[in-house]
Amino acid sequence: MNRNKRVITGITAGMLLIAFFLPWWKLSSSVSGWELVFRVGGTFRSWWLIIPVTGCVVLYSVLARRAYLLPKKLLFIMPLLAFSAVFLLSLIEDGFSIALPVIKSFVKSSSIGFWLTGIATLALPFCSYSPGPSSKRVLTGTMAAFVIIGFVIPWLNMLGVLSGWNMVFGGAGPPIESPLRFMLLIIPASAAIILGSVLGNLPYLLPRKLLFMLPFLTLVVAFFCALSTADNYLHALAGIGALCLFLLPGFWLMAVGAVALLFLNYSPVRRSPATVEN
């Protein structure tokens, strides 16, 4: 396993493990995946444990550079199978008319841990394949599309639903007053350049390493800019931590795409060995 792929696999497995203990569900109080198994009822609740156990096994094997305890493709798809099976078996056991509204309510009131778990369970099976030029091209284009789509769908559900686009231009509410809000446009713009280059098999308009770092770097700079406007950094950090509970799939989809692009290095144009890479 090459270094970049090992890092991505380790991060994804770590997300499975950490997200299991973060809030999954917020109604009168927040409920984590752990509490869902051991404190909340449900016939198939123990199946959720497959998710963090798989995360532990994969993360240990990556960090210790040891062979996996099960065939890799089976091991990497187990969290997704468990995730899907709990919902499907609940539908079969209780009947669609009863279980479907409950599942819709669960998803609607779901929180950061649930969405991180869902994203990681979808991403982990891709880590079991060795990407050739074709699959790496598809993965690069998909991650760039994640960033673009995530930017325009809801990020935050607090005093109204806001997306990255709304924060810049308004729509669901007034835009952020600071002119620095336009810096957020670097995120979808850089992803659009990557996606256009991949689809058209064209050279990138900017140096590749810089271009693939821009979405993530912009998020980091925006975070520190938000902190710099606060009178008390500790209070601001606590507020941002609380805000994470209200983040919606759009933000996490964009964040996963931005982080993944850091580790991708797809070149859409074939070059001779003598050609210097940009």
**221-256 pLDDT tens trace:** 887 776 666 666 565 566 666 666 667 778 888 888
39 pLDDT above the threshold of 60: yes
Number of other residues whose CB lies within 10 A of the CB of residue 226: 16
Domain residue ranges in the chain = 1-130, 131-278
More confident residue, 207 or 26: 207
Taken in order 247, 249, 250, 254, is the CA torsion positive or negative? positive
Query: Quick one: pLDDT at residue 212?
Result: 92
181 pLDDT above the threshold of 60: yes
Q: pLDDT band at residue 188, thresholds of 50, 70 and 90? A: very high
Q: pLDDT band at residue 187, thresholds of 50, 70 and 90? A: very high
**13-36 pLDDT tens trace:** 998 899 888 888 776 667 888 887
Cα→Cα distances 161→156, 165, 182, Å: 6, 11, 19
Query: Quick one: pLDDT at residue 272?
Result: 45
Structural tokens at position 25: 């569900």
Question: In the beta sheet, which residues pair with residue 157?
Answer: 161
Query: Please, what is the end-to-end C-alpha distance for the chain in angstroms?
Result: 26
Query: Quick one: pLDDT at residue 278?
Result: 40
From the number of C-beta atoms within 10 Å of its C-beta (0-12, 13-18, 19+), residue 60 rates as middle
Query: Quick one: pLDDT at residue 100?
Result: 63
Taken in order 74, 78, 81, 86, is the CA torsion positive or negative? positive
| Residue written as token pair 């499975």 | 16
63-95: b (≥16 Cβ within 10 Å) or e: eeeeebeeebeebbebbbebbeebeeebbeeee
**93-136 pLDDT tens trace:** 666 666 567 666 666 667 778 878 888 888 888 777 655 566 67
Alpha helices in the chain (DSSP H): 3-19, 33-38, 50-64, 72-94, 96-108, 112-123, 133-152, 164-169, 186-200, 208-228, 233-243, 249-263
| Residue written as token pair 């156990």 | 53
Residue 258: CA atoms inside 13 Å, Cβ hemisphere, count?
25
Phi, psi of 155 (to 5 degrees): -100, -35
State if pTM tops 0.75.
no
